[in-house]
Structure 1
Amino acid sequence: MDELVERVDDQDRGLGAVVSRRQAVREGWLHRVAVTVCRDERGRILVHRRSEHLSRFPGRYEVLVGGAVNAGESYEHAAARELAEELGVRVRPRLLFTFLNRSGVSPHWLGVHEAVAPDTVTADPGEVAWHAWLTEPQLRSALREWNFTPDSHEAFNRYLAFRATRP
């Protein structure tokens, strides 16, 4: 079953139209996606490789965990739901910022969160083929060498810039 999302405008305001995510992607309609950068207590960042069975970017690496914001759902609730579904982690992600992302399969508003997660996660094999905790230097190297999703590069660079402005 396809997810139902709300169409939004270029200011991230709801248009009152609920459509399938598949249709939103096909038509290039703006909608919302919530993602989380997961850190552990030592500050390492979770990186994972997407399952080969996924329709979007199979087998590519990601620094973000997330998915579509369902119609009527907040960015924060969607981020928490996705963490539970994909990693078996029940934590409260904190929304850091949103931006209009045009680097994926279709344009969408991306709500970027951060969460501290336990070292041990129970990844859903239908979503996650492999995962590991990397330090920031290791992740910077991986971003140059591995095949990451388009969203990962831009969102992670924005995440680092955001963190640099905060104490």
Structure 2
Amino acid sequence: MSVAPGTVRDVDELVERVDAHDRVLGVVSRSEAVRNKWLHRVGVVVCRDARGRFLVHRRAERLSRFPGHYELGVGGAAGVGESYIEAAARELCEELGVRATVRPRFTFLKRAGLSPHWLGVCDAELRPESVVTDPREVAWHGWLTEPELRGAVREWTFTPDSREIFDRYCSS
């Protein structure tokens, strides 16, 4: 989701509150879900190029959640009635300016981080030259091989989801 320069991302979008089995319980604002630690859905896409390198980016300093942290996935909260795939594809377009085929990989329940959530991890193959980042969202991006990413995950400050996404992605 893009915002005007100098502002932070709005966390009051509507999301579906879900249970431990990923069943919809109702509609709430995302800020309410986060504040009350209610489960909701987040769609993420792991981007790779034809050579198998992973796209890694550093979040802009102006963002309200995890400013300046590195991230493996591009994603965000799934809106009301939106699937994990749809949320991941929307965020891919908003944050990287790319439309691509997004394929589901796995879902898992994440209890740590900003708030508990179901994470739907997808992947997509991108051409590096097609990526046009939104500077309000992305401060830096680069393409890392799996060994380079393994080193970065140990040394850089990543978002809480990124390490687990990487471990699960490589073992799935």
Deviation at 1:3, TM superposition (A): 1.2
Q: Which runs of 4+ in 1 moved over 6 A?
A: none
Q: Distance in 1 between matches of 2:32 and 2:93?
A: 26
Q: TM-score, normalised by structure 1?
A: 0.94
Deviation at 1:102, TM superposition (A): 1.4
Task: Specify every segment of 5 or more residues in structure 2 that has no aligned partner in the other structure, as ranges.
Answer: 1-9
Aligned AA (1:7): R
Q: Distance in 2 between matches of 1:3 and 1:124?
A: 20
2:168 aligned to 150, 158, 163, which one? 158
Please give the residue correspondences for 1:7-156 in structure 2 after superposition, counting only pairs within 5 Å. 7-15=17-25, 17-120=26-129, 121-156=131-166
Q: TM-score, normalised by structure 2?
A: 0.92
Aligned AA (1:94): R
Deviation at 1:118, TM superposition (A): 1.4
Task: Specify every segment of 5 or more residues in structure 1 that has no aligned partner in the other structure, as ranges.
Answer: 163-167
Q: Distance in 2 between matches of 1:140 and 1:103?
A: 21
Q: Distance in 2 between matches of 1:154 and 1:138?
A: 16
The number of equivalent residue pairs is 161
Aligned AA (2:97): G
Deviation at 1:65, TM superposition (A): 0.5
